[in-house]
Amino acid sequence: MSKLKTNQKGGMVLEPIMMIVNFVLRVVENIFKVVFKVTIFSFKIGNIGNVKPWYKFSEYDWGPGWILLYYLSKAMMYLIIFVLGGPIAVIIGIIYMYMKLYKSLNVCT
């Protein structure tokens, strides 16, 4: 059995890798373009020039992103109130129950 010696020459190794990297970069670029357009659409504020007193925010045309942030902030506030209020209500209930029990133990029957 004879061994053949081959010397490999050429630059074909880097071209497919560069094509793959180029394709991935184009896909990422297009994704960022779409996300940017959706973000610009979602957070637009319209009808600014037609509202005479600038502080009447209810007359502005808010984009859907601002409306989503408004309702998310309301939900967050309710969750914070219930998370902090729940244990406080339980502690008040336990104190009330023990005060009632203490009062009933002081009464002779």
In the chain, what are the domain boundaries? 16-106
Contact by Cβ (8 Å): 48, 33: no
pLDDT for the residue 29: 97
Q: What is the dihedral of CA 93, 95, 100, 101, to 10 degrees?
A: 110
Q: What is the DSSP string of the chain?
A: --PPP-----STTHHHHHHHHHHHHHHHHHHHHHHHHHHHHHT-EE--TT-SSTT-GGGSEE-HHHHHHHHHHHHHHHHHHHHHHHHHHHHHHHHHHHHHHHHHHHS--
* Average pLDDT rounded to a whole number, residues 6-25: 80
**Whole-model pTM?**
0.50
pLDDT tens, 75-85? 999 998 888 88
